[in-house]
Amino acid sequence: MPVAGLGLSNLRCPRLHAPALALLLLVAGLAGCGSMLGRGDDPCALPAPGTVLRKAGLTTVFGAPEIGSGYTRKALASGRRELVVAAHPLAAQAGCRMLQGGGSAVDAAVAVQMVLNLVEPQSSGLGGGGFMLHYRAADGLLSAFDGRETAPAASTPDDLRWIGRDDRRAPQPNARASGRAIGTPGLLHMLDAAHRHAGRMPWPQLFEPALRLAEQGFPISPRLADSIAAAVPALERDARARALFLDADGRALRAGSLLRNPALAVTFRQLAEQGAAAFYRGPIAEDIVQTITGPRHGVTPGRTTLADLAGYRSRKREAICTAYRAYIVCGMPPPSSGGLAVAQALGILQHVDLPALGPTQIDADGGRPSVLAVHLVSEAQRLAYADRDRYVADADFVPLPGGSVATLLDPAYLQQRAGTIRLARSMGVAAAGEFGAPMPGVGVAPAEQGTTQVSIVDRDGDVVVLTSTIESAFGSYHMTAGGFLLNNQLTDFSREPTDSADRAVANRLQGGKRPRSSMAPTLVFARRADGTRGDFVMATGSPGGAAIIQYVIKTLVGVLDWGLDAQQASALIDFGAVNGPRTFVGGEHPAVDLSDGGRNDGLYRGLQALGHEVDLSAQGSGIATIVRRASAAGQAVYDGGADPRREGVAIGPLARFR
């Protein structure tokens, strides 16, 4: 079967059933059929297609950013020196090529992200933002990069609920799809800062894989095709999005269709030749502002100006690092709530013997977690989310209790919080901690959305974990003339600026402020006897909106407490809770018995007996995990695990799969 437009006219693939053929086509642009099946001498060959254990089509959990993709068993990837885990095979392979050519983990991350902008446009891209942790093995330096979007300087606290002071209608056609939702993009500024910090390859070289694919085209993946089909009415409103994602009759492009994005190719070329500054000043910036503020029928314009773009700066912040048993776990500080919430939940679970409550029937998919373990982890999460919802926002605008993360992470405070957990009954809704002085009120929690995850280790042992996003699937649906979608990140602010007691909400919209996020790129290190960070142990993170915190905690517990490998921990049943009576157990997992509404599943029944309202909706995680271990010969080996719920893979130069 020739693949037109990719320079592969002589490529012939064997006859396969539809899912396998779709995956084969997916990587044809860089790999060819032989390497897709793990054959040949390609050092960045991809693993064979996994076994589909549960198809897409389940109801996705309420508020999830993207549709479910089912569950496809994936192989554990192992390599002695380098690995990439990313949400799409073409993106992972682009990163592998950079590592193969001697590039750093940051080089690979930039290349991966540029390809993701093209092949997974519903999740992330130039029009969005992100957070990155970088670890330098040579001297142990840990850096946290904040590329979160910012609100326009002219924003008002009521911008998400009213058109204006004299027009109390909601922004049109809704807050998410209006110009009011769009924050000043920060992803490219952050990637440029990280590349200056730890890049080895020339900046233009990092754009080559994405530029080639944008010009020549790539086959649309099943996940992207399903996402387009689910968003047709919204995509139709934007002429550029409509032209890219829909056919001449207004129908969604199907899986396997060749998608070219010549406008994005032009943007990639400009950024490669002129650097990241070309995004924030000049024609690209002017186009962004025009897209946000220009008159369009039925769309409330945003308030972004050229000064907002020219003035944007990513930030280098101090990572949050806390002890958990024999480890040091590090994450992002505010404006992300992810690192703090993960650290709080682990600090509470420190007082629970989770290692004794490991899963049973352990297999390639992680086994079945026990009722008590799910109960305890979910309760710890309720307590962490309660503090998150009340107190966490952009700390440059709203200080945390005590002025730093130390108050919320105080061991005595977390021990007291752990004491509120009952073994025999769920608390349902947890109260936030009280700290004496008057604090901001609790706002209406926004329905946060998600993202993509990249985890990379290079030949020097340097590590990158990058979580990036344009917020909801396809962001605000506003596409620039440069071929990339703009975010709807400002809907991560609370719609209501005050609570019922007329107290200002911590996460209210303010000009120049960064909206609270749940993104939680996480690094784990051994804990030395003196309590300091030792060797690198683990990297992980996930998309999934507010549930990111749950997905990351589940994966950390799976590896650190239960001894699962990187693939098992990523594949393990997703479970957890925000601060509400519902406890989520991912019904997409093959170990969950969905018959009779789940009433035949032991985990479902056990949690219900403890007072949990169990929700078996499909989860939208996209966990990307790397774990360092010692081989039988005592050498360091890196294992990579990609979430079976999405299309991602773990690969590396000459990696093995099992």
Q: Which helix (H) or strand (E) holds 243?
A: helix 239-245
Whole-angstrom distance, CA of residue 505 vs CA of residue 389: 10
Strand partners, 261: none
Tell me how far the alpha carbon of residue 579 is from its chain's centroid.
Answer: 21
Query: Active-site residue among 304, 322, 451, 480?
Result: 451
Return the closest-CA partner of residue 206 out of 456, 561, 525, 498.
456
Q: Which residue has the tokens 């010549």?
A: 262
Residue 451 known to be catalytic: yes
CB 81 within 8 A of CB 653: yes
What is d(CA 143, CA 393) in angstroms, rounded to the nearest whole number?
21
The neighbour count for residue 169, using CB atoms within 10 Å, is: 10
Residue whose structure tokens are 């608390």: 427
**Are 637 and 565 in contact, with CB atoms under 8 Å apart?**
no
Distances (CA, A) of 618 to 71, 106, 242, 361, 582: 10, 33, 29, 21, 14
| 290: Cβ contacts below 8 Å, ≥ 6 apart | none
Strand 463-469's sheet: what is its strand order? 315-317, 141-147, 129-136, 463-469, 452-457, 83-86, 649-651
The torsion angle over the Cα atoms of residues 174, 179, 181 and 182, rounded to 10 degrees, is: 150
Using DSSP, state whether 640 is helix, strand or coil: strand
- The alpha carbon of 82 is separated from its chain's Cα centroid by a whole number of angstroms, namely 21
In 232-292, at which residue ranges do the beta strands (DSSP E only) sit? 258-259
Task: Report d(CA 396, CA 394) in Å as an integer.
Answer: 5
CA 553 to chain CA centroid, Å, is: 14
> How distant, in Å, are the alpha carbons of 434, 446, 562, 599 from that of 63?
29, 10, 30, 24
Number of continuous H segments (helices) and E segments (strands) in the chain: 19, 22
SS3 of 146, please? strand
Residue numbers annotated as active site: 451
